[in-house]
Structure 1
Amino acid sequence: MAASTPTLAAPRSPRRARRPNTELYSWVFMRASGALLLILIFVHLFTNLVSGGGVSAIDFGFVAGKWAKPVWQVWDLLILWLAMIHGANGLRTIINDYATRTGTRLTLMGLLAVAFAVVVVLGTLVIFTFSPCPPGAPADLLPSFCTAG
């Protein structure tokens, strides 16, 4: 009798999932946002500490003068949003890795979402509604750089 070699059937081609690979996008975002955050933060630190006269020169007036220019409002807003999204994404990954029970994972994800939303909304409001010289305020309560009027 001749020994016949068994033949294997050709493997089936894997079916492609039609949903996006969110973990891949998350991974790519973490690398891109981390690099962009480095640039944003170092320019922020250079502007505030080196060209701004050091940490002792940072006060209410310094921030008011800086945020009087829209470019610095947008710059600080980008730092806020990117840092919060980057950090929340990292915490989401940690929660998914270490929270084994579904209830615990959902609770932690909910708390993370609430904390994220509160910080982003309040930070955005502070950046865009900041007014060091509100109209109609008593002159004795206004900073020295505001003109009483």
Structure 2
Amino acid sequence: MTSTIVAPRSPYSRSPRKNGVNWEKWGWIYMRVSGVVLIVLIFGHLFVNLMVGEGVSALNFAFVAGKLSNPFWQWWDVAMLWLALIHGGNGMRTLVNDYATTRISRGILKSSILAAVVILIVLGTLVVFTFDACPAGQPADLLPTFCQAV
């Protein structure tokens, strides 16, 4: 049984450039490389969170706070965040290029994707690097129980 894939409906096409950077080629390469790196990062993340130590029963606020206090895990999570968001945004950009029918709709959709990716990267990075499970000067009844000794 054979199946056919319908051609994209977009009349959008680019004439090949003779000079300059081929961004489509580099986007394609990025998708392949980031996909492989993401597999390693995600399965490493899952293994440490679910298999090492007490397993899934140990996952709670204290576990996450302990991980986010370690610079290694901060950078691991930020790398996973950045690669996943840029990978997903680039995939969505490709879909918009293939299926958006007008130049204006392509511009609006790609600008929206870029804005969403940038905002999520900035907010996620801020959360990872500024997270403090035991902020100073807070009432004791609002802090987690493991902060009482501090």
Please state which band the TM-score falls in when normalised by the shorter chain: 0.7 to 0.9
2:48 equivalent to 1:47: yes
Larger Rg: 1
Q: Distance in 2 between matches of 1:100 and 1:25?
A: 24
Q: Distance in 1 between matches of 2:99 and 2:44?
A: 35
Counterpart residue number, 1:94: 95
In the TM superposition, what whole-angstrom CA distance separates every residue of 1:20-59 from its partner, at most 9, and x where no partner exists? 1111111111100000000000000000000143333211
- How many residue pairs get matched? 135
What are structure 2's unaligned runs of at least 5 residues?
A: 1-16
- The within-5 A match list for 1:42-121 is 42-121=43-122
Deviation readout 1:78-120 (Å, 9 max, x if unpaired)? 0000000100000000000000111111111111011111111
In the superposition, the TM-score normalised over structure 1's length comes to 0.86
Gaps of 5+ in 1: 1-15
Taking the aligned partners of 1:137 and 1:108, their CA distance within structure 2 comes to 43
Write the distance in 2 (CA, Å) between the matches of 1:131 and 1:27.
Answer: 38
In the TM superposition, 1:2-17 aligns within 5 A as 17=18
What TM-score do the two structures reach when normalised by structure 2? Answer: 0.85
